[in-house]
């Protein structure tokens, strides 16, 4: 077990402190209404919080290991909590008429060592009906360390719940973990939603979610398909997958879908096109400039851009249409002139601003379009100047997320005095950001960046 390194922040910008976990907090997720926040921790529990008050609504117990996955279904009817040992627990949101805070344990499942969970619902079921109607069905998918992806049809009726494994009809290498999964929604390129699964050995597999069939795959480490193996030899590693189309409507009408694969020192863009067959094309590799693992990769909601951050402190902003790096810099600690590692990254839904969490316990806001920069005497960019820095955590930040509403959407926040006051600024940006840390706490930080 890694020893947690604690430090004393220079200041405390915390707007609201959520204390309930006894050990490191690994993951966070807001429900789509913005009423609830779920957290998972090393202490074998998940907690459901009231977003407005910061109070505990319900504690999800019964896990045998660290809870590394928490995820609300898109309509907020269900919460899935999963631990590193592969225990999955699905909880049902209480009905308003029940006047209860208790989330009902709907079902339990077991997989191998759990790595990720994803939900999919049909578009007609994606929005929660506030008239308290019966919970709608959803599909839950989970990837594990032994290469398998399992899926379950989940409904509020226990008798209707079903589960299967995507991998049963195919041969997989049992040491090639299903590292990450990404749902590609229906678009101009595909009638049915797809699931892209990235495996440790560089295999990228695309599944049709509705028919549960494998429709294509590519070996990213194979010289036949890409130059990755020529450039990185036997030191190739991949970590996560993302897609600009999942975020940005400007890119959803192109004649192909784009996947971004993050690895050690590189981002590998893969174009996929759905005709009668599935066609893959590996585009030019984007080099981050060092061999540090790309821990954070996320796409802008407002512009055709994506940003990355590495454990060695390298940050970059790329054009999702030309696949060119617009800006790249290293985030340096002003005290000791050493790089500060990036652990998490997310963009505002409403402005071209992104936020990064660091190994030093700080959160940094950056402008995604241009932003202030420092230049050397030769005129070259040496450093990008942050828009704002927040402090408060006493150990490394492990997760960073934003609420699903902006400052003018006051109905979503239950009129809590503190958060309502943030909303009155009138700016269309999230009122606060939320972080989880090795220091056992969850914190809100007010976003007060001038437009």
CA-to-CA distance for 443 and 354, rounded, in angstroms? 18
Question: Among 118, 23, 116, 110, which Cα is nearest to 66's?
Answer: 23
The domain covering 298-406+427-450 belongs, at the CATH homologous superfamily level, to YVTN repeat-like/Quinoprotein amine dehydrogenase (2.130.10.10)
CA-to-CA distance for 239 and 318, rounded, in angstroms? 19
pLDDT in the model for residue 244 = 86
Asked if 445 and 14 count as a contact pair (C-beta separation under 8 A), the reply is: yes
Q: Which residue(s) pair with 238 in the sheet?
A: 263
Tokens of 349: 């839904």
**Backbone CA torsion sign across 118, 121, 122, 124:** negative
Place of tokens 């981002």: 267
Q: What is the pLDDT along the chain (451 residues), one digit of tens a residue?
A: 578 999 999 999 999 999 999 999 999 999 998 999 999 999 999 999 999 999 999 999 999 999 999 999 998 999 999 999 999 999 999 987 777 889 999 999 999 999 999 999 887 666 666 555 567 889 999 999 998 999 898 988 755 555 555 544 333 455 689 999 999 876 545 568 889 999 999 999 999 888 888 889 999 888 876 777 776 666 788 999 999 876 666 555 556 789 999 999 999 999 998 877 888 999 989 988 877 899 999 999 999 999 999 999 999 999 999 999 999 999 998 888 899 999 999 999 999 999 999 999 999 999 998 755 565 554 545 568 899 999 999 999 999 999 997 655 444 444 454 555 444 444 589 999 999 999 999 999 999 886 4
Question: What residues have CB less than 8 Å from 327, skipping those under 6 apart?
Answer: 316, 317, 371, 373, 381, 384
pLDDT in the model for residue 126 = 64
Distances (CA, A) of 183 to 244, 305, 312: 12, 19, 29
CA-to-CA distance for 344 and 398, rounded, in angstroms? 7
The residue ranges of every structural domain in the chain are 298-406+427-450
């Amino acid at each position: 077990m890694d020893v947690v390194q604690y430090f004393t922040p220079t200041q405390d910008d915390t707007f609201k402190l959520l204390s309930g976990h006894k050990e490191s907090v690994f993951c966070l997720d807001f429900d789509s209404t913005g009423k609830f926040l779920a957290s998972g921790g090393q202490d074998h529990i998940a907690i459901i919080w009231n977003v407005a008050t910061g109070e505990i609504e319900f504690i999800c117990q019964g896990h045998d290991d660290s809870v590394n996955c928490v995820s609300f279904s898109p309509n907020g009817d269900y919460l899935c909590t999963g631990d590193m040992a592969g225990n999955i627990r699905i909880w049902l949101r209480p009905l308003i008429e029940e006047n209860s805070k208790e989330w009902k344990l709907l079902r339990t499942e077991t997989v191998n060592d759990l790595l990720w969970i994803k939900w999919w619902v049909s578009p007609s079921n994606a929005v929660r009906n506030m008239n308290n109607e019966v919970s709608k069905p959803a599909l839950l998918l989970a990837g594990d360390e032994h290469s398998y992806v399992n899926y379950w049809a989940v409904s509020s009726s226990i008798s209707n719940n079903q589960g299967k494994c995507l991998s049963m009809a195919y041969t997989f290498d049992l040491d090639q973990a299903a590292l990450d999964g990404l749902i590609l929604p229906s678009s101009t390129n595909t009638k049915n939603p797809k699931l892209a699964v990235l495996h440790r050995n560089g295999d990228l597999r695309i599944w049709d979610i509705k028919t549960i069939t494998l429709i294509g795959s590519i070996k990213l480490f194979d010289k036949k398909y890409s130059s990755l193996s020529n450039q990185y030899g036997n030191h190739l590693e991949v970590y996560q997958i993302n897609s600009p189309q999942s975020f940005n409507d400007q890119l959803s009408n192109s004649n192909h879908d784009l996947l971004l694969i993050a690895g050690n020192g590189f981002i590998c863009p893969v174009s996929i096109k759905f005709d009668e067959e599935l066609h893959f094309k590996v585009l030019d590799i984007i080099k981050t400039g060092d061999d540090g693992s790309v821990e954070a990769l996320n796409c802008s909601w407002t512009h055709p851009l994506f940003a990355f951050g590495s454990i060695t402190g390298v940050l970059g902003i790329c054009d999702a249409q030309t696949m060119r790096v617009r800006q790249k810099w290293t985030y340096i600690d002003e005290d000791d002139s050493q790089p500060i590692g990036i652990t998490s990254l997310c963009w505002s839904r409403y402005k071209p601003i992104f936020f990064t969490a660091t190994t030093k316990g700080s959160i940094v806001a950056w402008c995604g379009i241009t932003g202030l920069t420092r230049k050397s005497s030769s005129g070259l960019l040496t450093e990008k100047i942050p828009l704002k820095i927040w402090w408060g955590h006493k150990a490394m930040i492990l997760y960073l997320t934003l609420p699903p509403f902006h400052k003018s959407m006051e109905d979503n926040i239950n009129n809590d005095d503190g958060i309502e006051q943030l909303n009155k600024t009138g700016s269309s940006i999230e009122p606060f950001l939320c972080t989880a840390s090795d220091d056992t706490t969850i914190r809100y930080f007010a976003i007060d960046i001038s437009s």
